[in-house]
Structure 1
């Protein structure tokens, strides 16, 4: 039976968690352009327009633009295509899936006096999809033993030795309960014969890699699953002939699961271990809340302006991990399968706030063209509690490595009878100062719609490209894989005017 190990987060003890990195904060803070097919057909450039259920997530005032109640539901088929470069190896991975992408409705009531109209709405959007996978395969000059050696420094040898009444599972659990995640990694590396102590003294705290060669065939398999979802509760009003104001209360939830497996074969005879398999699984769950305020102003019947402020999202996050290591070499076949789940104490994450300005021009009954600009300061992200020394270091890394990032969206719609034709372009800057870690993201969209009485059917296709230089592990094993990613989506929406 699997043991459950609860690791309390005590920063003063030097506790090192599995995650809580800069890249994790970026992942949980990022939101893609998702929603109805009409919204995605113009790349989400809807901030000054309203009149679409998903546009409410862009600008809360947009629901008051509706003249009648309206509901919509959207399905999407997403695909990722990763081309991965790792040292001398190149691999290709791709996958498709179908998801419920959006559903929601707007309910309009006529006001009186200066308040001409009220609107209340609810909308669900899958704001980010974490489904991803790639294989990094090639020959490296360094071994995964460096990962274990890095974590082992400072850990007394006495903690890594099995006593007569201990098993690998019980000592792995003891180290997690009383020492740290880093001590657990040192234990795996030592018992797997991947690292050696500098001396046999039980008080030794210095270690070296047991792998002396400089040629290692490695294959790193990465799979992730999950999504970030947003539930929006909206209220808006037309407060004058030309001014619309709105507010959103957003509930956010995400689940993220990451599985990695590294296979390593040592070339040559100078190594203690000839083959290694190292498995890790991370499961993360988050819940959060945020607020949005927005307004739309009609300068003229044709020209409209929009403005929105999104507060930071305040998440509470839970994490748990599992590990497995097997090695084969001069000491025979060694399997370290603790069968222990590490459950960490909950922690908090504050994402960046966002300000958006929008402008749109309406060509009468023939369509529109619209532009949105948004800015987020990623250096404002914070892990909490603030007084924890580990989070203080990660927050310092966030300030040093990240920067402010702008998003540009432009889109248009042309109407011809019952048909609608749409197109758009988006450009999202990298949140990293060094955009070699994660590049800017750019893409385009196309859309088509057809009205049938009070119903409408919409289709959209969007394409986006981004490159990343992804670290396989955190710590002393600093190998990275360069990944060229293309994401495509096909979205279908069915909408009804009530």
Structure 2
């Protein structure tokens, strides 16, 4: 039977388990997914249109279609993570299949002399992010789990984090979280599991604690396994005005599901240490929805040159979290009932909002008749403007200040080309995305290379694409108090798509 409790002091958890800068990056950064043609050309479609996933780059893109059109795309994903911690190296690899794009556009042409030559209505589903991933970090470090609990516990009175007479330990855990907040709850876990003890155990007003673990270095094995998705359902309306101007607008509705399991095993303490082994596991579940809109335009400057511009509004995500933990040590004087706190004791958080920043995209394309094209997009998004809401919450105010100081502007460059030989189209692309941090050497820039081809017969076309992206990033072992593993993450996608003109 699951035990549930709602955090009244919602903001106090921003330091630890959720609702922090990590969530802003999770939902604010987007992968280049979509149709196989879009992926093969690195998503450089802002001045081109004529592809359903091009609506991600420019809302006017559907008006470029000459006929009604349908497409569907499936992808095989491979994620490889090589992680370093101290002298330790771990590698993990994960593969999965997904339907990442499905949609259609209906084109209505004017025959009555109107300056509006055609109108297009499009409906499209795109995968923004697939969260399926696994990272393993292991090695020797001088910062043990006890530092995590000391960070929260020092300053917390001892009395409220005792188990009261006749109270079950799992009920105490949930009640402390609901009434006092995340920091006190973590202090409770550290104390009851034996990681830490009060300087004065007879004083309920004691606020200073010490560690029961002694070591110079410890051995840690950390696993972070995530799953879920951020998908986007797009409704689009666009039109061609006279011969050379395309205008469009989209409404985007996001659906979010995210699960994260982290496990941390630790040993290698000094032989005289009162603790010789321990584990600490956390599970986070998030779900919700988001909304954004975009406005775009494409202009033909000549038969060969097109330019485009697009404004994507901020995305407002309304999310809810639930969070559970389990912990144990071999400390002799721990509370023996500590194992009753497990993933069946679930903390529920009130609904909150993440507002990711708006994005501006400018595009240029050169069309070489029926032989091929080259396209370039540049996007700018200032991540320091991201916000957690309600902004009136004191802890959200503090975290938003931290976000504005740590994050910076992301510049994204996309370059794509296509060359046609009869029924065959050869494609290639390159994408560069700068780090979202203003100054953080743990997070590097992203580089991606892509290629593919298409084959057409009659109204039908099959497209195949391969994309490889790479980025170095720092992955903290827990969110506060411990070391950070350095991870080289390589994502590879193979996508197959089918489309048909009507």
> What band does the TM-score fall into relative to the shorter chain?
over 0.9
Distance 1:33 1:351, change over 3 A: same
**C-alpha separation in 2, matches of 1:482 and 1:14:** 25
Tell me the CA shift for residue 153 of structure 1.
1.7
- 2:491 aligned to 487, 493, 496, which one? 487
Decide whether the 8 Å contact of 1:327 with 1:333 is kept in 2.
no
**C-alpha separation in 2, matches of 1:325 and 1:17:** 16
**C-alpha separation in 2, matches of 1:169 and 1:333:** 12
Match of 2:411 in 1: 406
- 2:477 aligned to 467, 472, 477, which one? 472
Match of 1:6 in 2: 6
The aligned runs of 1:24-423 (5 Å cut-off) are: 24-111=23-110, 112=112, 113-200=114-201, 201-331=203-333, 334=336, 335-338=338-341, 339-423=344-428
Partner-residue secondary structure (3-state), 1:432: coil
Decide whether the 8 Å contact of 1:9 with 1:345 is kept in 2.
no
Tell me the CA shift for residue 16 of structure 1.
5.6
**C-alpha separation in 1, matches of 2:407 and 2:485:** 20
The aligned runs of 1:390-469 (5 Å cut-off) are: 390-469=395-474
Decide whether the 8 Å contact of 2:13 with 2:19 is kept in 1.
no
Tell me the CA shift for residue 333 of structure 1.
8.9
**C-alpha separation in 1, matches of 2:132 and 2:422:** 39
Decide whether the 8 Å contact of 2:145 with 2:482 is kept in 1.
no
Unaligned runs of at least 5 residues, structure 1: none
Decide whether the 8 Å contact of 2:46 with 2:363 is kept in 1.
yes
Decide whether the 8 Å contact of 1:325 with 1:337 is kept in 2.
no
**C-alpha separation in 2, matches of 1:378 and 1:250:** 20
Supply the RMSD in Å over aligned alpha carbons.
1.4
Tell me the CA shift for residue 286 of structure 1.
2.5
Partner-residue secondary structure (3-state), 2:267: strand
Tell me the CA shift for residue 17 of structure 1.
5.8
**C-alpha separation in 2, matches of 1:177 and 1:365:** 65
Partner-residue secondary structure (3-state), 2:45: coil
**C-alpha separation in 1, matches of 2:141 and 2:335:** 23
Per-residue deviation, residues 197-232 of structure 1 (Å, max 9, x unmatched): 111211101112221221211101110111110100
**C-alpha separation in 2, matches of 1:437 and 1:288:** 29
Tell me the CA shift for residue 233 of structure 1.
0.1
Aligned length: 496
**C-alpha separation in 2, matches of 1:266 and 1:186:** 23
Decide whether the 8 Å contact of 2:380 with 2:412 is kept in 1.
yes
Per-residue deviation, residues 169-214 of structure 1 (Å, max 9, x unmatched): 1111220121111111111110111001111211101112221221
Distance 1:275 1:14, change over 3 A: closer
**C-alpha separation in 2, matches of 1:31 and 1:370:** 20
Tell me the CA shift for residue 18 of structure 1.
2.3
Per-residue deviation, residues 345-380 of structure 1 (Å, max 9, x unmatched): 011111010000000000111010000000001111
Unaligned runs of at least 5 residues, structure 2: none
Tell me the CA shift for residue 161 of structure 1.
1.9
Tell me the CA shift for residue 309 of structure 1.
0.4
Structure 1 window deviating more from structure 2 (165-174 vs 14-23): it is 14-23
**C-alpha separation in 2, matches of 1:70 and 1:222:** 41
**C-alpha separation in 2, matches of 1:291 and 1:231:** 11
Tell me the CA shift for residue 252 of structure 1.
0.9
**C-alpha separation in 2, matches of 1:444 and 1:249:** 30
